[in-house]
Structure 1
Amino acid sequence: MAKRAKPAAKRGRAASKGVSVAAGELLTLLDFVRYAVSRFREAKLTFAHGTTDPVAEAAFLVCETLHLHPDQFETFATARVTAAEAKQILDVVARRVTTRKPAAYLVNKIYMRGLPFYVDERVIVPRSFIGELLDSHFSGSDEAGGSLIDDPGSVHNVLDLCTGSGCLAILAAHAFPQASVDAVDISADALDVAARNVADHGLEDRVSLHRGDLFRPLGDRRYDLIISNPPYVDAQGMADLPRECRAEPKLAFDGGPDGIDIVRRILDQAGAHLTPQGGLLCEIGRCRGALETAYPQTDFLWLDTEESDGEVFWIGAGGL
């Protein structure tokens, strides 16, 4: 008489409502992405940290767990994973569901414009539209009729206010190869993360970090370009923040009752820190109405990206 087959060994266990996965049920990268998407949708997670949907987030987590760049997913989509790798993937999927922390915190990484940056709970997870705009409107190419400068090499001094993880300062250093970049944040913890990223990208000689309140640590320095992704969430938005966003530093979100308290201060002081041909590029999310009401005589140029409409403005020194 044939012996009864032993139960298949468990390949991993997800912590979402006791769901378990047995050996052989999930084999390829695509299998694990599909599984993760189902768990994410079941848990009604929020996606607002560099990925905007469960499929993109699942692919990101699978690739990071397997030490693959996101661009390599399609190449290895049908490749099988090992039992040890499967366990790691299922673990990070389970932690995403049970903790509701942003995926970037779970793997300590985020990508902007294809470049990797270290992140942890000391900084907001970067997802600014300014990185795309540096490519589309400041590259010197006028193919789309939208370039705001003629020559990136003519930009010699850049300031990044509210730098957080330092990602925009680093992207600016890449966009303007002749420029020195000053990056300011009021948070010492954030600057520790920024210092790590600056070192990782080998830019210690071009990106300088300053702790302080906006322009205060800079003296009378002037810049060809000021960029900023400041706190701009209004009071109602702060009250409605999803659980994922509540894992991030409140300081990086809170823009006061109407969301533009910090933006007002930047606008009021930026003119004294710009060269005559310089300008300010500032992200304000959905506060366009509040800003235009507060500054009815100011001629803002609103810039769109692939995923945003009128959430970033440009204003030249003359307009300030």
Structure 2
Amino acid sequence: MKNVKTEKLTEIITILDILRWSSSKFNSVPICYGHGTDNFWDETLHLILSGLNLPINIPTEMYHARLTTKERNKLIQLVFRRIIQRVPVPYLVNKAWFCGLEFYVDKRVFIPRSPISELIMSCFHNILPDKPHRILDIGTGSGCISIAIAMTNPNAIIDAVDISIDALKIAEKNIKYYNLENRITPIHSDIFSNILKLKYDLIITNPPYVNSTDIYKLPKEFLYEPIIALSANKKGLSIINKILKNAIHHLNQNGILICEVGVAKTALIEHYPNVPFQWLQFTNGGENVFMLNYEQILSFHYHTFTMRNI
């Protein structure tokens, strides 16, 4: 962090000063956004205000508040870690946002950012015939999807599964923070392995879908996240294949499967040319999330998974 010594950082006195300096720094270097922000100003606000334990929407009058020496030094170090080490902001401040809710995160867990948030915020309007009661969240990570659904649907009972025990510890922390222990159950499970014969109105998932050969081509920021939460073999389809193969055994007859597939969409369509994936539309950005109902899954399940070995 040699640049620290070449600047008059003692001139940074107020929150506004550190916001201006940080935004200039971020805008002058080729860092990659994509963990909750898409521009240098939002990145600055999330890092600086969260680093001060302040909400993002503080009155602008507070920007003129003076920083203590300890606060200034801490924030400067965070800015340089973001620039030089390329650590994503949510890991620097241990905070991420999803559906307007704050979640604790660290390097043990994937940073929330799925377009599924729009579906949750709309209470699955025009997607589900009724509000789902029993829900399975596969690959829960921080627990953000489960918690957001529970906060918008007070009748929802959710099983939140993950193969990572470390991730489940984070999920448990967030579930406890929102006092949802009675409605969300964290389960250590390799997809359906520990779910037994339970049936759900909704199975929802943002599984790993990056081809294992492409994982190290991602910007450095993404490589701080657990590889297990990003990478899947077989053109990114290994986890998605297992979900499609077994979802029929865990859905009610009126049940729905919603799955984000990201960059694996093309490979998925090529692998399952006869599956009637319904690709959901988003107004706030995002794509590559499909929906299938029980009848659609049942109609292709026998020929796809019984007649040939995937």
TM-score (norm 1): 0.86
**Between 26-35 and 49-58, the greater mean CA deviation after superposition:** 26-35
**Between 27-36 and 269-278, the greater mean CA deviation after superposition:** 27-36
1:215 aligns with 2:192: yes
Aligned partner of 1:134 in structure 2 is: 120
> Is contact 2:278–2:290 with CA below 8 Å preserved after alignment?
yes
1:148 aligns with 2:148: no
Q: 2:44 aligns with which of 44, 50, 58?
A: 58
Letter in 2 for 1:121: K
Aligned partner of 1:35 in structure 2 is: 21
1:16-27 maps to which residues of 2 (within 5 A)? 16=3, 18-23=5-10, 25-27=11-13
**Superposition deviation, residue 252 in structure 1:** 0.6
Aligned partner of 2:301 in structure 1 is: none
**Superposition deviation, residue 254 in structure 1:** 0.7
Unaligned runs of 5+ in 2: 298-310
Measured in 1, the distance between the counterparts of 2:6 and 2:254 equals 60
Q: 1:68 aligns with which of 33, 36, 54?
A: 54
Q: 1:199 aligns with which of 164, 168, 176?
A: 176
> Is contact 2:99–2:121 with CA below 8 Å preserved after alignment?
no
1:121 aligns with 2:107: yes
**Between 303-312 and 182-191, the greater mean CA deviation after superposition:** 303-312
> Is contact 1:16–1:39 with CA below 8 Å preserved after alignment?
no
1:188 aligns with 2:165: yes
Letter in 2 for 1:105: Y
Give a deviation string over 1:79-137, Cα, whole Å, max 9, x none.
44344432222121122223221111111111112211111111111111112211236
Structure having the higher helix fraction is 2
Letter in 1 for 2:173: R
Matched residue of 1:184: which SS? Answer: strand
1:158-177 maps to which residues of 2 (within 5 A)? 158-177=135-154
**Superposition deviation, residue 219 in structure 1:** 0.5
Letter in 2 for 1:20: E
> Is contact 1:158–1:181 with CA below 8 Å preserved after alignment?
yes
1:311 aligns with 2:279: no
Q: CA RMSD in A?
A: 2.0
Measured in 2, the distance between the counterparts of 1:266 and 1:220 equals 15
**Superposition deviation, residue 309 in structure 1:** 4.5
Aligned partner of 2:228 in structure 1 is: 251
**Superposition deviation, residue 265 in structure 1:** 1.0
Measured in 2, the distance between the counterparts of 1:305 and 1:18 equals 46
Aligned partner of 1:262 in structure 2 is: 239
1:97 aligns with 2:83: yes
> Is contact 1:158–1:172 with CA below 8 Å preserved after alignment?
no
Measured in 2, the distance between the counterparts of 1:163 and 1:115 equals 15
Give a deviation string over 1:2-25, Cα, whole Å, max 9, x none.
xxxxxxxxxxxx6547442343x3
1:2-13 maps to which residues of 2 (within 5 A)? none
Aligned partner of 1:9 in structure 2 is: none
**Superposition deviation, residue 281 in structure 1:** 1.0
Measured in 2, the distance between the counterparts of 1:15 and 1:103 equals 21
Matched residue of 1:182: which SS? Answer: strand
Alpha carbons of 1:293 and 1:218: their partners in 2 closer, same or farther (altered >3 Å)?
same
Give a deviation string over 1:167-214, Cα, whole Å, max 9, x none.
111112122211110011111111111111111111111100111210
**Superposition deviation, residue 49 in structure 1:** 1.0
Measured in 1, the distance between the counterparts of 2:288 and 2:38 equals 17
Unaligned runs of 5+ in 1: 1-13, 141-146
Alpha carbons of 1:302 and 1:284: their partners in 2 closer, same or farther (altered >3 Å)?
same
Higher Rg: 1
Matched residue of 2:58: which SS? Answer: helix
Alpha carbons of 1:232 and 1:210: their partners in 2 closer, same or farther (altered >3 Å)?
same
| Number of corresponding residues | 297
Measured in 2, the distance between the counterparts of 1:35 and 1:281 equals 42
Letter in 1 for 2:201: D
Aligned partner of 1:241 in structure 2 is: 218
